[in-house]
Homo-oligomer: A and B are copies of this chain.
Amino acid sequence: MTSSFYPPHRTLMGPGPSDVSARVLSALARPTIGHLDPLFVDLMDQIKELLQYAFQTSNELTLPISAPGSAGMEACFVNLVSPGDTVIVCQNGVFGGRMKENVERCGATAIMVEDSWGEPVSIDKVSTAFDQHPEASILAFVHAETSTGVRSDAAALCALAAARGALSIVDTVTSLGGIELLVDAWGADAVYSGSQKCLSCIPGISPVTFSPRAVERIRNRKHKVQSWFLDMQLIMGYWGGDSKRAYHHTAPVNDLYALHEALLMLREEGLEAAHLRHRRNHEALVAGLEAMGLAMVVAPEYRLPQLNLVAVPAGVDDAAVRGALLKEFDLEIGAGLGALAGKTWRIGLMGFASNERNVLYCLNALEAVMAAQGAVFAAGKAIPAARAVFES
């Protein structure tokens, strides 16, 4: 007989969701009010302001899509792409491939710029793609690739798109709150993210922001947006600055309580402090992993502090280690994806989960599990190496 579900208390150090704080969970569970309640409309205004801060933008059209990051991605594509358009899509991991799917389902052509998984997007290749396809009206790329832990140069890519008269669509699902992200300064046009990574909110919500140029293109569309649910012209009627909100869909009221609280925590800490914290915990983790004899896959200059791609040592059974971490330590780390499956782990240090306790806990657990499996490595060195970073 099915009964109430009481989850264990995991430590979430995979590619997301990340640990959600008790403060956010508590906000989540506050009494539900109506989605047109005047107090809820006030809350929506606050969420918009907090998102503008997190994205570092003054874009008027900044709001949370009522669905996960992949719907946020789709919202950017279906509103900006029309049938017959040409879109340059950069792929250096899983999510570039998903962008291609989105472009094609809009009846447009995707020009793929491919880089190896584990490498950043090549600016030169993108520049060449624009030379070969001057008709391209959009450049789409991933700022922080969740599948590989690689950061690409979003500022340079947005500038390149602007110089070619194209709009930029930028995936910041894993970057928002974890590393520098300057939507206005970089001139990014359509930007989407997720609630469950460095914001450490529950999964299910996708913050987005659109520049005035992007809004203009949406307003001038000749083809209706193929999705009614994600049609920004309709959503603007509910989330717009007007005090008379038009009903579009029922907002996920409690999820937005949680998002509000998570964004508030980010603002209280401050973006710079949050980025520094992510950087420091990453450095400690890497020091510990390397002291243990494990190797990082991504070159230091492109590494995301919030998502660490680690090579599974020869002879070690990837799935057995992850299974033991989950079973014996209630610790989730991520598997590799695609070509990296079985060969890499993805260790997340995102948002609330990016803290000293988690770094030490993870190193300790990995040491214990690998020792139990008879893997040869340098024992007893990881924790001191990580501590040295924290104490420096």
Contact = CB atoms under 8 A, between A and B. Distances in A.
Interface of A: 2-10, 12, 14, 16-17, 19-20, 25-35, 37-40, 43, 46, 49-50, 66-71, 73-74, 98, 101-102, 104-106, 194, 196, 202-204, 224-229, 247-255, 257-258, 260-261, 264, 267, 326, 332, 337
Contacts of A37: 10, 326, 332
B5 A32 contact: no
Contact of A252 (B9, B105, B203): B203
A32 B253 contact: no
Contacts of A104: 224
Contacts of A27: 4-5
A32 B20 contact: yes
B105 A226 contact: yes
A249 B68 contact: yes
Contacts of A260: 5
Given A28-B29, A29-B26, A34-B332, A2 B50 contact: yes
Given A252-B68, A252-B202, A31 B5 contact: no
B105 A224 contact: yes
B31 A28 contact: no
Number of chain copies forming the complex: 2
Nearest to A34: B332
Contacts of A30: 5-7, 25
30 contacts: A3-B264, A5-B43, A5-B46, A5-B260, A5-B261, A7-B33, A7-B39, A7-B257, A8-B39, A10-B37, A12-B33, A12-B34, A14-B34, A16-B250, A17-B32, A19-B32, A35-B203, A67-B229, A68-B250, A69-B250, A71-B249, A101-B228, A105-B225, A105-B226, A105-B227, A105-B228, A194-B250, A203-B253, A204-B251, A226-B226
A228 B67 contact: no
A335 to B, nearest CB: 8
A52 B214 CA distance: 43
A253 B285 CA distance: 27
